[in-house]
Structure 1
Amino acid sequence: MPPAQPLAAAPIQPVNKGAPLLTVQDLKVYFEVGGNRLLGKEPGVVKAVDGVSFDLRAGETLGLVGESGCGKSTLGRAVLRLLPIHAGRVVWLGQDLAKLDDRSMRGVRRDMQIIFQDPLASLNPRMTVGEIIAEPMQTFQPGLNKAQVRDRVKAMMAKVGLLPNQLNRYPHEFSGGQCQRIGIARAMINEPKLIVCDEPVSALDVSIQAQIVNLLMDLQREMGMSLIFISHNLAVVKHISHRVMVLYLGKIMEIADRNSIYYDPLHPYTHALNSAVPLPDPDQERGRSRIVLKGDLPSPLNPPSGCPFRTRCPRATEICAQVMPDLLPAKPGHLVACHHADTPRGN
């Protein structure tokens, strides 16, 4: 097993300043729950993603943060059209994915892949590692012969830190970190342009998390793909991301470059998330003051009026209950949805 390692200090991959690779416009993903129309009882509606818009450029990593139930994973899967979209547009290289039929969408999927949260559960236990990694090539590159497939599988295994002679083993013979490396190899074997990383390190030990994050950054530098990185670990998101988007009950609270989000946040929810990140220095950790949010996350079936964060916000006033704030630029490249973004911190 590779030795434990800290998060790398190397700079992240520069972003291509050209046209966006991906454009998401006013995306909405709703789910109906409960109810029985035969008995006249209308179902409830969960607005898991409610009007989200952003761009993603080639080679860029966008981090998604927020509490459980804020819509991060739903947003990531909707972008890949793994979940139905209620409204809005997902434009990939100029194509509106909602307008593509299944056959056309299949051609796009080679360039859009996903890495799942649970390493072992995402792998077929009846297939060998070689078969798992080779499966996407058999789908999208059927013209390759067996020797070519085997060579590419071995080369990819070496890239992600696995021994090529392990390709005939089964997933249960590997550790959690090794299984996640298998999942990464499968996602990258066709050299996609976009990978959605759906909490890829949350099920791993801290030292293994660092290895996987550093591996993703190394592969991004080598292959140039874009990442949407979803995580509860704000330190990891800060390390790997160019920009960070903060979600709360399906809406964007703040989006900016990683340094602005962590060192100069404007939304009170972002302040609270930063306050929850432990500091490595014990003296600083003991002496810091924390922001403790009151109450639990409201039900997405019955969200608060106005700003969804107002029921837990220390800055909330009457206007917060009446009007949902627009996501507006507070500084160049720094957008925030808050009526009191200019209120001094702590007030």
Structure 2
Amino acid sequence: MAETLLSVQNLSTVFELRGRTMFSKPARLAAVNDVSFDLRKGETLGIVGESGCGKSTLGRSILRLIEPTAGRVVWQGRNLTDLSDGDMRRARRDLSIIFQDPIASLDPRMTVAEIIAEPLRVAEPSLDRKARRERVLKAMDEVGLAPEMASRYPHEFSGGQAQRIGIARAIITEPMLIVCDEPVSALDVSIQAQIVNLLKSLRERLGLTLIFISHDLSVVRLVSDRILVLYLGRVVEIGSRAAVFDAPAHPYSQALLSAAPIPDPVVARQRQRTVLKGDPPSPIDPPSGCAFRTRCPIAEPVCAEEVPPLVAVSEDHRAACLFAGEEARARVARASRAAAPPGAGIAAAPAIGS
């Protein structure tokens, strides 16, 4: 088994929100709540969930772009949360990020060469101008950008080309881990496929380890080795790609997957849909016990009593549900059949997941 590069241990990120008046007490918003997982060398971990579930905050907290409130982020045996600003700056040579909006993440006043070279000025300040130029051209070649593009500005590029610039900037320091924060969600479908294939190719050629954040389940399935499902800042399921997609153990994961589009219309009409009622509760005032219980089709009174721990469903597959696994699937199927009106099998997918 590959070595563990990253170990996230009980990580929480809480934001203090000002009250509406000067006499109101500040509210606490737990964007990331007691998250733990390990990431192996060369692996891609996909992180999925509805908008607002804490995916991006988790990725940025791992890199300390947002300071976590509690917990540990252990990178190759070093606790990143204990490092000084200077030590963290040096550690970031091995850690990088690709942002969601390719245009907004690029400085419009800088040329492509300057944008890509910027991390080198921090990570390797001793490099001379010629050496930086060579590294920039190498990174551009890795992502499929022509050398003559180096002197151009971001507004001269399409979204897909701009994201290639962002990827080149992310790999310029030769990192070991890259957090991909919804890197294709702002792109056209045809361009999404190109960028996903590029990331897969770079992972193989450069030996990268990836955290791939997305709400698009089809993309996550294509690129990930393991899947982590977040709901209201908590991990509700984590396991191998096959385990989570073929046999989801948590009702929330089952609902996300049942909402994902299927290209075969015959199969799509025949499958049973799990329709979630209502919106996710506010992370400022989450429900007691299982946070998903207010929308769960199989919730029982016991679900309100305590937060369910992650329990083993099978080898390398865990879920935070009192009825995880086969029992949850059977209960959800019965609840869906009971709640579904005639003809529900051909109803449009609910607006969750992708």
Using structure 1 for the length normalisation, give the TM-score. 0.93
Encode CA deviations 1:119-159: one digit per residue, 9 max, x unaligned. Answer: 00000000000111111112212222222221221121111
**Residue 23 in 1 paired to residue 7 in 2?**
yes
Cα distance in 1, alignment partners of residues 125 and 18 from structure 2? 44
> Would you say the 8 A contact 2:180–2:211 is kept in 1?
yes
Cα distance in 1, alignment partners of residues 139 and 3 from structure 2? 29
Encode CA deviations 1:203-227: one digit per residue, 9 max, x unaligned. Answer: 0011111110110010000111111
After TM superposition, the structure 1 stretch with the greater mean CA deviation from structure 2, 97-106 or 115-124, is 97-106
Shift of residue 276, structure 1, vs aligned partner: 1.2
Cα distance in 2, alignment partners of residues 88 and 175 from structure 1? 40
The match for 1:270 among 231, 253, 258 is 253
Shift of residue 36, structure 1, vs aligned partner: 7.4
The corresponding residue for 2:343 is none
Shift of residue 336, structure 1, vs aligned partner: 0.5
Shift of residue 58, structure 1, vs aligned partner: 1.1
The match for 1:346 among 318, 333, 342 is 333
The corresponding residue for 2:97 is 114
The corresponding residue for 1:222 is 205
**Residue 209 in 1 paired to residue 192 in 2?**
yes
The match for 2:46 among 59, 63, 86 is 63
> Would you say the 8 A contact 1:26–1:88 is kept in 2?
yes
> Would you say the 8 A contact 1:24–1:54 is kept in 2?
yes
Determine helix, strand or coil for the equivalent of 2:333.
coil
Encode CA deviations 1:295-332: one digit per residue, 9 max, x unaligned. Answer: 11111111111100001111100111112111111111
> Would you say the 8 A contact 1:155–1:164 is kept in 2?
no
Q: Could you tell me which amino acid in structure 2 is paired with residue 180 of structure 1?
A: Q
Cα distance in 2, alignment partners of residues 98 and 334 from structure 1? 28
Q: Could you tell me which amino acid in structure 2 is paired with residue 213 of structure 1?
A: V
The corresponding residue for 2:19 is 35
After TM superposition, the structure 1 stretch with the greater mean CA deviation from structure 2, 208-217 or 30-39, is 30-39
Cα distance in 1, alignment partners of residues 70 and 123 from structure 2? 29
Encode CA deviations 1:156-190: one digit per residue, 9 max, x unaligned. Answer: 11110111111000000000000000000000011
The corresponding residue for 1:308 is 291
Cα distance in 2, alignment partners of residues 81 and 119 from structure 1? 21
In the TM superposition, what are the counterparts of 1:165-244 in structure 2 within 5 Å? Answer: 165-244=148-227
Shift of residue 289, structure 1, vs aligned partner: 2.8
The match for 2:73 among 90, 94, 98 is 90
Cα distance in 1, alignment partners of residues 191 and 259 from structure 2? 22
Determine helix, strand or coil for the equivalent of 1:310.
coil
The corresponding residue for 1:161 is 144
Q: Could you tell me which amino acid in structure 2 is paired with residue 346 of structure 1?
A: A
Cα distance in 2, alignment partners of residues 145 and 253 from structure 1? 49
What is the RMSD of the two structures over their aligned residues, measured on CA atoms?
Answer: 1.3
**Residue 283 in 1 paired to residue 266 in 2?**
yes
Using structure 2 for the length normalisation, give the TM-score. 0.91
Encode CA deviations 1:214-268: one digit per residue, 9 max, x unaligned. Answer: 1001000011111110001001101101100000001010000001111111101
The corresponding residue for 2:277 is 294
Cα distance in 1, alignment partners of residues 8 and 74 from structure 2? 6
Determine helix, strand or coil for the equivalent of 1:25.
strand
Q: Could you tell me which amino acid in structure 2 is paired with residue 116 of structure 1?
A: F
Shift of residue 37, structure 1, vs aligned partner: 9.3
> Would you say the 8 A contact 2:272–2:333 is kept in 1?
no
Shift of residue 281, structure 1, vs aligned partner: 1.4
Determine helix, strand or coil for the equivalent of 2:28.
strand
Q: How many residues align?
A: 330
> Would you say the 8 A contact 1:279–1:285 is kept in 2?
yes
Cα distance in 1, alignment partners of residues 227 and 47 from structure 2? 6
After TM superposition, the structure 1 stretch with the greater mean CA deviation from structure 2, 29-38 or 170-179, is 29-38
The corresponding residue for 2:56 is 73
Determine helix, strand or coil for the equivalent of 1:77.
helix
Cα distance in 1, alignment partners of residues 294 and 219 from structure 2? 28
Cα distance in 2, alignment partners of residues 171 and 81 from structure 1? 27
Q: Could you tell me which amino acid in structure 2 is paired with residue 182 of structure 1?
A: I
